[in-house]
Amino acid sequence: MTVKVGDIAPDFSLLSQTGSSVSLKDFKGKKNVIVYFYPKDDTPGCTAEACAFRDSYEVFKDAGAEVIGISDDSQQSHQKFATKYQLPFTLLSDTGNKVRQLYGVPATMWIMPGRVTYVIDKQGVVKHIFDSMLDFKAHVSESLKTLESIKS
């Protein structure tokens, strides 16, 4: 299955870096959600992307959105990563890549987990999908542009 713009985002429940369970449905009717899948904690590209989301986190909050990062790293790895870079948003552990597969996030060069961001509105509808392995900061700018269009 591949999630497309206009689809209802598939629900999931995963453990966060703090050990709490987070479900997409927790935000339905309350907040827009930015769900970004990334390959690996504490690697150069993933750190650049996470820090770009961190640096714009207040803008996302002001736009009524929550940011959630997902990779197959462990809860402990996420905790270290979030602490090291002072990430204010939730990181979820998708061990076994079940949610990644549910969304149809492709692998890059058939081996490395892809880097894809989904903008999901308050009703749970996917409004935008951005897929770029190398343009880390564009995941943030594309998400913010989409949130702006949702508002107007």
Burial (CB count <10 Å: 0-12, 13-18, 19+), residue 45: middle
Q: State the sign of the Cα–Cα–Cα–Cα dihedral 81, 40, 104, 138.
A: positive
Q: Which of 14, 24, 33, 46 is catalytic?
A: 46
- Say what the alpha-carbon torsion angle 26, 132, 115, 85 is, to the nearest 10 degrees: -80
Q: Is 51 a catalytic residue?
A: no
Count other Cβ atoms within 10 Å, centred on residue 85: 14
- Conformation bin of residue 63: beta by default, left when phi > 0, alpha when psi is -120 to 50: alpha
Q: What residues act catalytically?
A: 46
